[in-house]
């Protein structure tokens, strides 16, 4: 079977104008960033013309502040786990008889992070403009504000700039732990400074009514309250839970949890040994017939290596099970799953759930030696016709070619790839540039 698949000839790529939209540089994530930026630029143009926000004698600080809050409201809410689950639920309501092109675009719902990044950057730019306008009004004698307001504004723009710098792809990859901690602690600090600035400025400029009454009547305060609740909510579900860890090999740990939570297939959970410092996301693998769930963790760095070697008895979890990329499978009649190494973990719950006809292509080194007989037998019980490519015996395959051959022979409508970032992009673009719907994680969380 594997030999015939490797002999399958890939079709030619689509013409340049058709495939240019499939390039990772213009993926849906980037398109959302562009869309958000275009909307913000439109509002800026409106404010400079019809809105009269920047008249010589007076700058409309409230209008600028509204744009700050509106952007950051989306930034925070679109990362909220319940909101993410709702977006996936909404996108997957489309029936499979809808045109494939429509379902193809709906399947890109996991690119919602483009809204997060786009609004975060634009919100920061609006806040820089707002802060500049605040100081300008002060120097012109048009505004009387406290040093608390000015200090909060300067602290906020400084922290926001640091967060954006740390989120740049190259810096984020190289210093991921620093990125995560910066985002967490600087983000919390920015939220506190927003509250401080909002009330200190109100105390200086709203003398007519009591501050509490102003707060109740001001939409900005309510939006800040919702943003705060959204950030706090996952931490309200923080708990330290027992875990059983088995290691079929020095490369893999299989974690088993049973603390009263049975997540839905295709979701992920965050786990940690130090909840204030770092969190790691892994796909849940629930059993079809009993409570609890499993995680497959491969040695891929210091944290995972220590977990495999130490086998702690307890870990921290927080939040709720959150939908992952493979949940879009129900948009299609037949799907091919392509996985490499421990990428089999996110695929396994879907293979066990069997919501639709699917076929597995799994490339890994010595599967039974690395992952154990029990896991491999479970996979084969769910997918007797699975193609399991042993890279120790056969070398590394051309995954685009294997994926296309499986897609063609199985009569699938889409391919879902779970692999490392480089290979996922190769497979997704390699197929989509040939007109085949393909999906894979984008490492934006």
pLDDT at 338 over 90: yes
> Which domains can be identified in the chain, with CATH numbers?
2-14+326-440 (3.40.50.80), 16-233 (no CATH), 239-323 (2.40.30.10)
State the pTM of this model: 0.92
- The Cα–Cα gap between 4 and 22 comes to 28
- Secondary structure percentages of the chain, helix, strand, coil, to 5: 60, 15, 25
Question: Would you state the pLDDT for residue 217?
Answer: 86
Instruction: Using alpha carbons, select from 373, 370, 322, 381 the residue that is nearest to residue 346.
Output: 322
Percentage above 70 pLDDT, the chain: 97
Question: Would you state the pLDDT for residue 410?
Answer: 96
Q: What is the residue-wise DSSP string for 354-376?
A: --S-EEEEEEESSHHHHH-HHHH
pLDDT at 335 over 80: yes
Two tokens, residue 320: 């709720």
- The Cα–Cα gap between 104 and 322 comes to 21
pLDDT at 349 over 50: yes
Question: In terms of residues, how long is the chain?
Answer: 445
* C-alpha torsion angle, residues 174, 175, 176, 178 (rounded to 10): -170
The predicted model gives 278-284 an average pLDDT of 90
The per-residue pLDDT for range 60-85, each reduced to its tens digit, is 888 999 999 999 999 999 999 999 99
The predicted model gives 27-43 an average pLDDT of 96
Contact (CB, 8 A) for 267 and 341: no
pLDDT interval class at 299 (50, 70, 90): confident
Two tokens, residue 123: 């919100």
* C-alpha torsion angle, residues 252, 256, 261, 264 (rounded to 10): 50
pLDDT at 288 over 90: no
The Cβ of residue 321 has, within 10 Å, a number of other Cβ atoms equal to: 20
Question: Would you state the pLDDT for residue 429?
Answer: 95
pLDDT at 6 over 70: no
The per-residue pLDDT for range 352-402, each reduced to its tens digit, is 999 999 999 999 999 999 999 999 999 999 999 999 999 999 999 999 999
pLDDT interval class at 445 (50, 70, 90): low
pLDDT at 221 over 90: yes
Q: Between 38 and 289, whose confidence is greater?
A: 38
Contact (CB, 8 A) for 150 and 143: no
Two tokens, residue 351: 């293979």
pLDDT interval class at 32 (50, 70, 90): very high
Q: What is the residue-wise DSSP string for 184-235?
A: IIIHHHHHHHHHHHHHHHHHHH--SS-HHHHHHH-HHHHHHHHHHHHHHHHH
Contact (CB, 8 A) for 319 and 270: yes
pLDDT at 127 over 90: yes
pLDDT interval class at 7 (50, 70, 90): low
- The Cα–Cα gap between 402 and 400 comes to 6
The per-residue pLDDT for range 148-198, each reduced to its tens digit, is 989 999 999 999 999 999 999 889 888 888 999 999 999 999 999 999 999
Question: Would you state the pLDDT for residue 1?
Answer: 42
Q: Kind and range of the H or E element at 281? A: strand 278-283
Instruction: Using alpha carbons, select from 348, 352, 344, 363 the residue that is nearest to residue 252.
Output: 344
CA 112 to chain centre: 7
- The Cα–Cα gap between 399 and 6 comes to 9
- The Cα–Cα gap between 339 and 362 comes to 5
Q: Is 290 exposed, middle or buried (0-12, 13-18, 19+ CB in 10 A)?
A: exposed
Within a 13 Å sphere around the CA of 408, how many CA atoms are in the beta-carbon half?
A: 17
Contact (CB, 8 A) for 384 and 360: no
Q: Is 408 exposed, middle or buried (0-12, 13-18, 19+ CB in 10 A)?
A: middle
The per-residue pLDDT for range 88-122, each reduced to its tens digit, is 999 999 999 999 999 999 999 999 999 999 999 99
Q: What is the residue-wise DSSP string for 228-277?
A: HHHHHHHHHT-EEEE-EEEEEETTEEEEEE-SS--PPTTEEEEEEEETTT
CA 431 to chain centre: 22
């Amino acid at each position: 079977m594997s030999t015939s698949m490797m002999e399958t000839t890939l079709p030619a790529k689509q013409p340049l104008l058709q495939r240019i939209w499939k390039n990772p540089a213009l993926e849906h994530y980037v398109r959302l960033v562009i869309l958000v930026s275009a909307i913000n630029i439109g509002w800026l143009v409106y404010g400079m013309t019809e809105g009269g926000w920047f008249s010589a004698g007076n700058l409309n600080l409230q209008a600028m502040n509204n744009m700050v809050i509106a952007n950051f409201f989306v930034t925070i809410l679109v990362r909220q786990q319940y909101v993410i689950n709702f977006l996936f639920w909404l996108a997957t309501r489309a029936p499979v008889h809808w045109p494939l092109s429509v379902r193809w675009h709906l399947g890109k719902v996991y690119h919602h992070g483009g809204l997060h990044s786009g609004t975060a950057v634009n919100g920061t730019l609006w806040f820089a403009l707002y802060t500049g306008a605040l100081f300008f009004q002060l120097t012109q004698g048009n505004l009387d504000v406290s040093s608390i307001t000015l200090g909060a504004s300067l602290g906020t723009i400084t922290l926001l700039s640091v967060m954006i710098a740390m989120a740049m792809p190259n810096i984020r990859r190289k210093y991921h732990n620093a990125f995560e901690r910066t985002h967490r602690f600087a983000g919390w600090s920015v939220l506190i400074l927003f509250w401080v600035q909002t009330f200190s400025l109100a105390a200086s400029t709203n003398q007519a009514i009591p501050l509490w009454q102003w707060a109740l009547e001001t939409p900005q305060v309510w939006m800040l309250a919702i943003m705060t609740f959204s950030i706090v909510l996952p931490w309200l579900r923080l708990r330290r839970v027992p875990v059983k860890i088995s290691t079929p090999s020095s490369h893999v740990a299989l974690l088993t949890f049973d603390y009263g939570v049975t997540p839905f297939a295709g979701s992920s959970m965050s786990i940690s040994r130090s909840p204030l410092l770092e969190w790691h996301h892994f796909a849940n693998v629930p059993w079809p017939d009993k409570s609890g769930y499993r995680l497959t963790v491969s040695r891929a760095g210091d944290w995972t290596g220590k977990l495999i070697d130490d086998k702690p008895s307890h870990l921290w979890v927080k939040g709720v099970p959150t939908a992952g990329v493979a949940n879009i499978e129900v948009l299609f009649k037949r799907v091919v799953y392509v996985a490499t190494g421990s990428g089999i973990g996110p695929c396994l719950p879907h293979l066990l759930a069997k919501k639709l006809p699917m076929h597995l292509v799994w490339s890994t080194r010595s599967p039974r030696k690395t992952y154990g007989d029990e896991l491999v037998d479970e996979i084969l019980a769910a997918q007797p016709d699975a193609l399991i490519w042993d890279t120790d015996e056969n070398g590394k395959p051309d995954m685009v070619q294997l994926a296309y051959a499986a897609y063609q022979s199985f009569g699938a409508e889409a391919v879902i790839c779970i692999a490392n970032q480089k290979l996922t992009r190769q497979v997704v673009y390699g197929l989509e540039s040939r007109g085949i719907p393909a999906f894979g994680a984008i490492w934006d969380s």
